[in-house]
Amino acid sequence: MQALKLYGAIVLAMIFWSFSFIWTQMAIESFPPVTLVSLRLVLASAMLYGYAKFTGKFQRLRRQDLGGFVLLAFFEPYLYYMGETYALTRMSPTLVSVFVATIPLFAPVLAYFMLKEKVTKSNMVGIFVSIVGVILVIYVPGTGLYADFWGVVLVFLAVFAAVFYSATLRRISSYYSITTIIFYQSLIGLVFFTPTFFVLDYSIIHSVEVSARSLGALLMLAFFASVIAFVFFGGVVRKIGIAKTNVFVNLIPVFTALFSWMLLDQYLTFTQWMGILVVVLGLFVSQINRKSRKTEKLEAIAKVTEF
């Protein structure tokens, strides 16, 4: 029964995170991208604070760590969500989720140059396999790119931000819990989004007509994707470890493709489905080697912040 509850919780977390790409695309039908992310962060920060206080997991930020958290927040949520959310205005949720899924592959490469961490052979093979998969997803023979060019550029901004986030995260003290890190980076992220809102969205916010569909998507993003999925994920990782949990995380692009087909009538070709499966295969290959507990904890945090 305990195992059933654990796997039920992680499956629900994966479903919520798979839906996050779809909910974002539904929400931006009404909300400008910066406004959407800002509102999501406000709601999620308030709920995470309540959760941390209720469970006794709230930790105060130490002054010497403030600079590190500011840098974390700049990469994620600021740059990451700017890239991902604007990419979803030009690309399907499935395509964006495929690119996002490759983030764990490239983070160790940057860590090698910045922190001299070893890059394994399995990681290099995983990168190669996943790149082949991405090409199958976005390139149509005789036609060219299936995906919008600027959409690809924007989603690569998100990938770039997440990779630097992962490297920066390794410099943050292990003193902090996952809940604390997510809460403070979300709160500090609002400091970056506030001036961006006034530059990009303030002049058009008066003309925004909010539909029930978009409002519902925003609330589901904040509650299910940013809080409930995180609570489930963190609980399962503590019980079974990140290695087993990764099996489910790697399947998010597949779930997103299925839900996009069911809810948004977005169809993929056989070649694109094969490409998604090849990307997932590359993720599994890259995770063959066992990692230290500290690295597992950092990977757990990094994965949470990508959805």
In tens, the pLDDT along 223-257 reads: 999 888 877 877 777 677 665 666 677 778 888 88
pLDDT given at position 280:
83
pLDDT given at position 307:
57
H or E, element range at 17: helix 2-27
pTM: 0.82
Q: How far apart are CA 184 and CA 189, in angstroms?
A: 8
Q: How far apart are CA 166 and CA 15, in angstroms?
A: 23
Q: How far apart are CA 16 and CA 40, in angstroms?
A: 15
Percent of the chain with pLDDT strictly greater than 70: 85
**Interval 158-187 mean pLDDT:** 82
Residue 137's nearest CA partner among 274, 25, 283 is: 274
Q: How far is CA 2 from the centre of its chain?
A: 28
| pLDDT: which is higher, 240 or 33 | 33
pLDDT of residue 175 exceeding 90, the answer is: no
Residue 270's nearest CA partner among 159, 136, 151 is: 136
Q: Which amino acid is at 127?
A: I
pLDDT of residue 36 exceeding 80, the answer is: yes
Please report which confidence band the pLDDT of residue 82 belongs to, taking 50, 70 and 90 as the band edges: very high
**Interval 140-169 mean pLDDT:** 81
Which 8-state DSSP code applies to residue 202? T
Could you count the other beta carbons within 10 Å of the beta carbon of residue 230?
26
Please report which confidence band the pLDDT of residue 220 belongs to, taking 50, 70 and 90 as the band edges: very high
Q: Are 222 and 44 in contact (CB under 8 A)?
A: yes
User: 208: which 2 tokens?
Assistant: 């925004």
Q: How far apart are CA 191 and CA 270, in angstroms?
A: 44
Q: Are 149 and 90 in contact (CB under 8 A)?
A: no
Q: How far is CA 247 from the centre of its chain?
A: 16
Helix (H, G, I), strand (E, B) or coil at 31: coil
User: Where does the chain show beta strands of DSSP type E?
Assistant: 139-140, 144-145
End-to-end CA distance of the chain: 29
pLDDT given at position 295:
56
Compute CA distances 197 → 34, 99, 220, 223, whole Å.
6, 26, 22, 22
Range scoring the smallest mean pLDDT among 31-45, 160-174, 219-233: 160-174
- Strands 144-145, 139-140: pairing is antiparallel
In tens, the pLDDT along 95-123 reads: 888 888 877 777 677 767 766 667 778 87
pLDDT given at position 283:
77
| pLDDT: which is higher, 29 or 279 | 29
pLDDT given at position 169:
79
Give the chain's mean pLDDT.
83
Please report which confidence band the pLDDT of residue 141 belongs to, taking 50, 70 and 90 as the band edges: low
Range scoring the smallest mean pLDDT among 51-65, 121-135, 165-179, 247-261: 165-179
Residue 219's nearest CA partner among 98, 79, 43 is: 43
pLDDT given at position 22:
93
Strand partners, 144: 140
Residue 32's nearest CA partner among 88, 99, 100 is: 88
Q: Are 85 and 189 in contact (CB under 8 A)?
A: no
Report phi then psi at 145, rounded to 5. -65, 125
Residue 147's nearest CA partner among 68, 90, 89, 74 is: 90
pLDDT of residue 267 exceeding 90, the answer is: no
User: 33: which 2 tokens?
Assistant: 């991208």
Task: Note the residue count of the chain.
Answer: 307
pLDDT of residue 216 exceeding 80, the answer is: yes
